[in-house]
Amino acid sequence: MYKLLPILLFAYGLAVTTEDIYDNSYALIIGIDKYENVRSLDYAVKDAEDIQSMLIDKFHFQQDNIVLLKNEEATKTSIIQEFSNITNKAESNDRVLIFFAGHGETMDLPDGGEMGFLLPVDGNKTDLYISAIKMEELKTISLLSEAKHILYLVDACYGGLTAVGARTIEIQPTPNYIQKITQYKSRQIITAGGRNEKVIEKAEWGHSAFTKNLLSGLRDWMADSDRDGIITVQELGTYLKKKVTIDSDYQQTPKTRNLTTDEGEFVFISGVENKRTNEISIADNQKQKNFIQSSDLKFNRDSYTSFFASLHSHIGLMVEDDTFINPKQTISFGLGLSPSSSYAYDLDNTAPILLTISPSVSIKNYLGGSGDIYWHYGLGLILLTDFKENDNSNYYGFEALIGWGKIGFKGNILPFIPIRSVKFSTGYQILFQPGENRDVDQGIEFKVTIGYKHKRSYSEGVKIYSD
Q: Where are the beta strands (DSSP E) in 161-229?
A: 165-166, 186-193, 201-202, 207-208
Q: Which residues of 172-198 are buried (b: 16+ CB within 10 A; e: fewer)?
A: eeebeebbbbbbebbbbbbbbbbeebe
> Tens digit of pLDDT for each residue in 378-402?
999 988 876 555 555 677 889 999 9
Q: Which fold has domain 15-269?
A: Rossmann fold (3.40.50)
| Residue length of the chain | 467
d(CA 258, CA 190): 9
Residue 330 has pLDDT above 80, yes or no: yes
pLDDT at residue 460, rounded to an integer: 44
Q: Which residues of 40-59 are buried (b: 16+ CB within 10 A; e: fewer)?
A: ebebbbbbbebbbebbbebb
The residues, any chain, with a CB within 8 Å of residue 101's CB and separated by 6 or more, are: 30, 31, 32, 41, 43, 44, 45, 47, 48, 155, 156, 208, 211
Residue 465 has pLDDT above 70, yes or no: no
> Tens digit of pLDDT for each residue in 309-321?
888 767 889 999 9
Burial group, residue 354, by CB count within 10 angstroms (0-12, 13-18, 19+): buried
pLDDT at residue 26, rounded to an integer: 96
User: Domain 297-466 carries which CATH code?
Assistant: 2.40.160
Domain ranges of the chain: 15-269, 297-466
pLDDT at residue 300, rounded to an integer: 74
CA atoms within 13 A on the CB side of 458: 16
The answer to whether 208 and 45 have CB atoms below 8 angstroms apart is no
Q: Which of 27-36, 145-154, 224-233 has the weakest average pLDDT?
A: 224-233
Q: Which of 17-21, 49-53, 285-289, 299-303 has the weakest average pLDDT?
A: 285-289
Q: Which of 109-123, 204-218, 432-446 has the weakest average pLDDT?
A: 432-446
Residue 295 has pLDDT above 70, yes or no: no
The answer to whether 283 and 291 have CB atoms below 8 angstroms apart is no
d(CA 256, CA 194): 11
d(CA 134, CA 130): 10
The answer to whether 218 and 236 have CB atoms below 8 angstroms apart is yes
pLDDT at residue 271, rounded to an integer: 55
d(CA 13, CA 369): 19
pLDDT at residue 216, rounded to an integer: 94
Which is more confidently placed, 152 or 349? 152
Residue 359 has pLDDT above 70, yes or no: yes
CA atoms within 13 A on the CB side of 248: 26
Rounded to the nearest 10 degrees, the angle between the axes of helix 209-218 and helix 44-57 is 10
pLDDT at residue 303, rounded to an integer: 86
With pLDDT > 90 as the criterion, what percentage of the chain qualifies? Answer: 41
pLDDT at residue 97, rounded to an integer: 96
Q: Which residues of 225-252 are buried (b: 16+ CB within 10 A; e: fewer)?
A: beebbbbbbbbbbbbbbebbbebbeeeb
pLDDT range class, residue 455, cuts 50, 70, 90: confident
Rounded to the nearest 10 degrees, the angle between the axes of helix 233-247 and helix 209-218 is 140
Mean pLDDT of 231-254: 92
Burial group, residue 130, by CB count within 10 angstroms (0-12, 13-18, 19+): exposed
pLDDT at residue 24, rounded to an integer: 93
> Tens digit of pLDDT for each residue in 80-94?
999 989 988 999 999
d(CA 154, CA 133): 13
pLDDT at residue 467, rounded to an integer: 53
With pLDDT > 70 as the criterion, what percentage of the chain qualifies? Answer: 75
pLDDT range class, residue 159, cuts 50, 70, 90: low
